[in-house]
Each structure stands twice: as structure tokens, then as C-alpha cells.
Amino acid sequence: MKRERFFALVAAVSVVLAGTGAAMPFADEGPFLVAQPDAIVGTPAAGGDRILWIELATVPEFALFGDRAIHAYNTTSGTATLIRSRAANARSPDIDGDLAVWEEERGTTTDIVLYNFRTGTVSALHTAALQHNPRVSGSRIVWEEGFDGERGIRMYDMTTGSLYGLSTGKNDCFAPDIDGTTVVWVEQSDRDAYAIVSADLVSGRRDVLGVPSVPVSPRIDGGRTVWEDEGLIQLASTEDGVTTLTREPAPRSGAIIGEAIVAWSEEGRIICHDLSDGQTTRTGKRQASTKPAILDDGIAWVDEGNGGVLSIRYQPFASPHPGGLQVEPAAVVTPVSMGTQGGRIREGECAWYALDVSPGTTGISLDFSWEIVDESLSCTLIGPGGAVFRFTDSDDEAMDARIRVSVTSPAGIIPGRWYCAVSGESVREDVSYAIVWYESATGR
């Protein structure tokens, strides 16, 4: 079979496609610009189809005394909302369902402020002590209360109107999070001794999930808790103990969990780890993307561009692909037919190729390689049915300037023209690459 059947150069454009790796496909559109604030306070929060963040107030008279503004963006409707234009030293936003919370200075103390998206109302939760780092799940809000060194964990249930003290003893407790009826926080028992405590609100059971070496901010979802410690990402549950998701220490921050996805920032890129199959995917700009937040249908983060210009970006996930299609790293490929093409590419460029797949084909494999390990390239597969899969060097678990992946389905993959887009993610000058396709079919 002639090589031209497998590859035809379609176009070359100056755009980098968004997408994903094997286990967690991103949509073919995005990332989308949500906002360009002058300065973002802390990390954005996300929940459902909303992104919530705090920025410095832009109106000059509002910029005095630490005034800040609370903003939200709905990814479904594509609309932005200014929730509060003047909030004294507001910080630590969180969101769940129709409820958003944050801390805000009110008079001589710090209180928790609540916003209901459904009713559009703002209210405050006040206690006699300073309140910091609120987190919300359903009708329950938890926070740390008091001064450093003597903080305790408190909870308010909006359904019952009850206020609870969750931490006991004289230890300093801080950085809480809540998911349903489980609360986690960090407890410091000595100068350099920390423990991540999990408390079940129903049974009263308490467990130590881990003992980080430094203060951390654990995040919980679905009964699993994540945090970063000494450059490693840790995942823990009361049933399974602690699992280290990363192999080697690296500059990592902002670990967060949502559904079956753990995300963090690593050396200025956003890393998404799929807990269902252990695959990881990179997105965002190299050396510029931090502070991830997970929505139901995508992920948001903060980019810092040239001159310190900030932006909030949102990348939706792709819809589940049809027909039992499986896309996964392939350490070894078994060729039946083969076609090869290659070229040179610069940062920001994208070269397109096409592969015509015959009816009855149950699998195709891609072997994509380039000449310099330090350069960052990606390839994106787009199927005739609209399925999109994006791969980077780490997706086959080997940083070797080579990506080998397979697309298979026992019922046969969708026949027709498949496209492959090669993108220069981070390239110093230009880099040479090569692509080899392997095709297999039932009965061959």
C-alpha cells in the first residue's frame, strides 16, 4: 500500500491545539480566556460550571485599605458576574453548588461571607474570633478560627443552624477542607510535627492520613485527600492508606482533587492525573501556568504572560468517546501496514497530517518522535466522529522525546479520515520530528 494513503500534508497554521492525553481527552476547542485581572488574590475556586476568584479592586477609590472584588464566571452560559465590588482584604474563596464562601475583614474582625447564586443574596457568618480559610460542601461550612499557634477547626450547618467545634486539645489546627460528611485538616503537635487528620461527622471516627514534613493544604473529594509534600503529590484515604502519585520530587504546587482527577502545577505547567487509570496529561503554558481549579466539565488555571499580565483560562474536557474506543500508551506497536512523514517545527506552529482508515480496522498506532529531549512537542488525534486526543512526552510514562500510543476498539474504530496535528509547545528554535503510523485490522 502506498505511503500517500496514510499521510497527506493538509495545512500548517500558527496555533497550538488544546487537548489531552490518553485517558482524559480535552475538547478540541480551548483553552478559553475567562478574565484578565490586574492581580489575583490566592487561587481561584471552581465547582459545577462556575469559576470564582478574588482580585484587587480596579476602581481607584476602591483600591484603598486592601479592597478587593469578587468575580464569577459561568462556563455554560459564558457570562461573568461581579458578585462584590468592594470587599476588605477578601481571600480564600470556595464554591459548591449554588453557594460561594470567602473570608473578609468586617470592622475589627474577620468573618466568613456567603453568596447564594440562586437568590443573589450576600450574608455573613460571624463568631467572636478571627475566621480564616473557609470551605463549603452542601449545607456545611468549615474554617479555622483563632490566632496562629492556637487555631481550631469549626463548622456551621446551615440546615440545622448548629455551630460545632471539630478539633480538640491544645494543638494548632488549620487548613481544613470538607466533602459531604468528612472533614480533613492539618494538626501541629510540636514545632516540626504535622499530621493530616480525617474526621467522619457521622461515626465520629478520626484517622491520621499522613504526616507531612511542612504545613500543607489538603484537599478532599470522594473520600480521597491530596496534598504536596517535598515536591511529591500524595493521595490518601482511610481505606487505602497513602499513595505517592509522582515518581521524583519536582517544583509542584496547588494539588487539588475533583471526581477522579488530581491536578497540580509542575514547573509552570498544569498536570492532570486520571485516578481511574493512572495516566497524566499536561496543559497550559510552560513556565507560566499555576493555581489549577477543577470543574465538573473541565479545568481552570492562572497564566502569567509577558510583563506579568495575568489571565484565567478554562479548558473543557471532551465528551466521552463513542463505540468503546480505547486510547492508551503503547510501549510496543505491532505494524501491519506503515506510512512515514516528518518535518521541522517551531514554537507556536502546528502541522496537520491525515490518515485514511479502512472499514474493519480495529486499531491504529502512532509513533511520534523528535530529535531533542529538552524540546516540548505534542500531537493531537482527531477522529471522524469528533473524538479528540492530545498527547505529550509524559503520556507514555517515558520522557524520551517519543510518543507511542494506540487507538483500538473490538467493534472497529470509526473508518474515514483521521487527522494528526503536530504542535510546537515549547521549542527554542526549531526541531526535526518524524511520525510513523501502524495499522491493524481483524483477520489480517
Run of H or E residues at 361? strand 361-370
Q: Where do runs of H (alpha helix) occur along 136-241?
A: none
AA letter at 331? A
Nearest to 225 by CA among 238, 212, 206: 238
Judge whether 225 and 256 are in contact, CB under 8 Å: no
pLDDT at 249: 94
How far are the Cα atoms of 68, 83, 119, 388 from residue 311, in angstroms, in the given order? Answer: 17, 19, 29, 25
pLDDT at 17: 26
d(CA 186, CA 195): 6
Residues of the chain with pLDDT below 70 are: 1-25, 27-28, 58-65, 319-338, 385-388, 395-397, 440-444
**Backbone torsion region of residue 222, taken as left when φ is above 0, otherwise alpha when ψ lies between -120 and 50, otherwise beta:** left
pLDDT at 214: 92
Grid coordinates given for 424: 510546537
Tell me the helices (H) and strands (E) count for the chain, helix number first.
0, 38
AA letter at 90? A
d(CA 382, CA 389): 7
d(CA 210, CA 194): 9
Contacts of 201 (CB under 8 A, 6+ apart): 140, 155, 181, 182, 183
d(CA 361, CA 344): 30
Nearest to 37 by CA among 303, 435, 272: 303
AA letter at 195? A
d(CA 94, CA 102): 6
Nearest to 378 by CA among 342, 312, 424: 424
How far are the Cα atoms of 13, 86, 96, 429 from residue 346, in angstroms, in the given order? Answer: 11, 45, 42, 6
Nearest to 280 by CA among 270, 293, 290: 270
d(CA 383, CA 175): 44
Cα 238-242-245 angle, rounded to 5 deg: 135
Query: What phi and psi, each to the nearest 5 degrees, are found at residue 60?
Result: -50, -45
Q: What is the pTM of this model?
A: 0.68
Contacts of 241 (CB under 8 A, 6+ apart): none
**Burial grade of 399 (CB within 10 A; 0-12, 13-18, 19 or more):** exposed
Judge whether 272 and 24 are in contact, CB under 8 Å: yes
Q: Which domains are delineated in the chain?
A: 3-14+322-441 (2.60.120.380), 32-316 (2.120.10.30)
Contacts of 280 (CB under 8 A, 6+ apart): 21, 271, 272, 273, 274, 394, 395
- Which residue is listed with cell 493544604? 217
